[in-house]
Amino acid sequence: MKKLSFVILLLAAVLLLNACTSAVPTVAEELVAPTEAIEEITSEPLVPTDTPEPTLEPEDLEPVITLVGMDGEKSFTMSELKNMEIVEGQAGIKSSTGQIYPPALYKGVSLKTLLAEMGDIDESMGVNIVAEDGYGLSFSYDQIMNGNFIAYDPATGDELRNPVALDAILAFERDGEELDKREDGTLRVVIISEKNNQVTDGHWSIKWVDRIEVNSLVQDWALVLTGAITETIDRSGFESCVNCHEASWEDDKGQVWKGTPLWRLMGYADDAIKHEGLCYVDELAEAGYAIELVASDGYSVELSSIDANRNENWVVANTVDGNPLPEKYFPLRLVGEGLEKSSLVGALTNINFDLEPISAEDMVDPDTLQVVDVDTGDLVVVGLVSQEVGLTQDALRAWHSAMFTVEHPKKGEVEYEGVLLNELLDFIGVADGATTLVMTADDGYSIEVALEDVRTCADCLITFDEEGSFASVMPGMETSTWVKGLVRLEIK
């Protein structure tokens, strides 16, 4: 009986084990499914549970321009800019020294189109174009909407008698290629026309633009300087000067007045060389001449050039606490340390210097630089330039020679006679794509400097002495770049 019971239990256990085994497929059974099952699975499309986001191009990731209006701001990527209405045209510039940079084909977005993104603008508003380094310049409503800029003949540099239609654009392409980011930045402003028959003043062509601000009224004005010559500086020219040579003064109320030093303006009319106020005649100022500052209502004050000579604390201001001057002082006011209250003359329209006028016969053309053959020049400029040339000291002295006080890395402030290196490079013309300046001395010493660093050095000089020797003076750079016995400049 016991044996029969054991057999029955054993049979039951075997049956139970077979049932469990048949319910769980083997590994082979899992890997080799029936054909019907495969057809059933593959007959439905496969839909992933997590669909990856599309890969964005770099130009879609970061904003390249910010528009600031009265009620807020908007930023746009390059892709968004390129989806706006695109325009193209020919644009070139005339530098402050008269150097012509011929027109090239630019493509971009009209400032009119951009500003429409912020709503309508009217005659009561102006537009401030700001670069990455903080440089800014104001455009008037008329300039933005109607293209009212002075244009010049690219061949002669003379103002066009029959103006052509112009449009200020934010360009991202030149001659079919993206802008050179080292030279122009991602975006720059240019003034285009349909044909290559015009160039405009260089200060309008702002590089490395990253911000556009819509402000209250920008009113045009002019300051007349009369001395050895007569020179008129308009609003944009003055703002450009301030951007390069800013000076400030804080009054006893804590207000900060900003503009440019009076002595910089003296340099515009103390002789025939007037470019950017930098060719300043120290000898005349030290000898002494009267400076008369005249307001729009006829009020005037008289100062001495001896006191104003290279005085950074006497400022002809165009802003106070970052805003245009109030109506009673607009557009300019003389302020500064040590001036009597009666001398703080506002609403300036004229500055007169008691200097002997230069006759037309005695006028030296400051934009003419006499060059010689490369083999005979005391200093040669070669490489990626419009023309390889030789230069002599006599030619440079007759061109833009002046006295400059700059900071030597070891000696402190030192005065040098010479010419601005960037003005020389502008006159000769540097080719697109150039990245390096190589300076070589008469003993074979040579040093390379990034052209980008040179182009941002406002006071870098080529100097000369009575022995006929040239030198490079490079404030803010290593002493190894201050090359004595300089005989060769090569652009690479």
Residue 41: predicted pLDDT: 38
440: number of Cβ within 10 Å: 17
Portion of the chain with pLDDT greater than 90, in percent: 40
Task: Find the helix or strand (DSSP H, E) in which 455 lies.
Answer: helix 451-455
Query: Looking at the structure, do residues 485 and 383 belong to the same domain, yes or no?
Result: yes
SS3 string, 210-235, reads: EEEEEEECCCCCEEEEECCCEEEEEH
Length of the chain: 492
Residue 367 resides in a domain: no
Please check whether residue 19 lies inside any domain of the structure.
Answer: no
Residue 99: pLDDT band with limits 50, 70, 90: confident
- Cα(454)–Cα(12) distance, rounded to whole angstroms? 98
pLDDT in tens, 135-160: 778 888 888 999 989 899 888 888 88
Q: What is the number of domains present in the chain?
A: 3
Question: Do 75 and 194 fall within a single domain?
Answer: yes
42 assigned to some structural domain? no
Strand order in the sheet with 402-408: 402-408, 412-420, 461-464, 470-473
The average confidence (pLDDT) of the chain is 82
pLDDT at residue 406, as a whole number: 83
Going by C-alpha positions, the residue among 290, 287, 280, 289 that lies closest to residue 310 is: 280
- State the average pLDDT over residues 77-88: 94
212 and 254 both lie in a single domain: no
Torsion of CA 199, 203, 206, 207, to 10 degrees: 90
The answer, yes or no, to whether residue 18 has pLDDT greater than 60, is no
Residue 7 pLDDT greater than 50, yes or no: no
Residue type, 265: L
Based on the fold, state whether residues 231 and 304 are members of the same structural domain. Answer: yes
CATH number at residue 62: 3.90.420.10
Give the confidence band of 54 by pLDDT, cuts at 50, 70, 90: low
Which region among 104-108, 232-236, 317-321 has the lowest average model confidence (pLDDT)? 232-236
Q: Are residues 400 and 460 in the same domain?
A: yes
Q: pLDDT tier at 32 (50, 70, 90 boundaries)?
A: very low
Contact in structure between 351 and 376 (CB atoms under 8 Å):
no
Whether residue 255 sits in one domain with residue 236: yes
Burial level of 39, CB count in 10 A (0-12/13-18/19+)? exposed
Judge whether 46 lies within some domain: no
Q: Which two tokens stand for residue 150?
A: 């002075």
Q: Is 257 a member of any domain? A: yes
In a domain? residue 280: yes
Q: Please give the Cα distance from 316 to 310 (Å, whole number).
A: 13
Residue 92 in tokens: 């070139």
Out of 173, 193, 216, pick the residue that ends a domain. Answer: 216
Residues 467 and 397 in one domain: yes
Query: 226: how many CB neighbours lie within 10 A of its CB?
Result: 18
Question: Is residue 52 situated within a structural domain?
Answer: no
Angle at 295 between CA 293 and CA 301, to 5 degrees: 35
Same domain, 114 and 134: yes
Q: How far is CA 350 from the centre of its chain?
A: 29
Tell whether 428 and 335 lie within a shared domain: no
Strands 199-201 and 87-94: parallel
What's the rounded Cα separation, in Å, for the pair 284 and 363? 17
Domain containing 430 equals: 379-491
Residues 283 and 199 in one domain: no
Q: Which of 216, 234, 259 is the last residue of a domain?
A: 216
Indicate the residue among 197, 216, 235 that finishes a domain.
Answer: 216
Residues 231-288 pLDDT 10s: 888 887 888 778 778 899 998 888 899 999 999 899 888 876 655 434 578 888 999 9
Do 437 and 474 fall within a single domain? yes
Which of 329, 302, 301, 304 has the alpha carbon at shortest distance from 317?
A: 329
- Both 210 and 254 in one domain: the answer is no
Residue 483: band (very low, low, confident or very high) from pLDDT cuts 50, 70, 90: very high
Look at residue 448 and tell me if it is in a domain: yes
Q: What is the pLDDT of residue 333?
A: 96
> Which amino acid, one-letter code, is at 422?
N
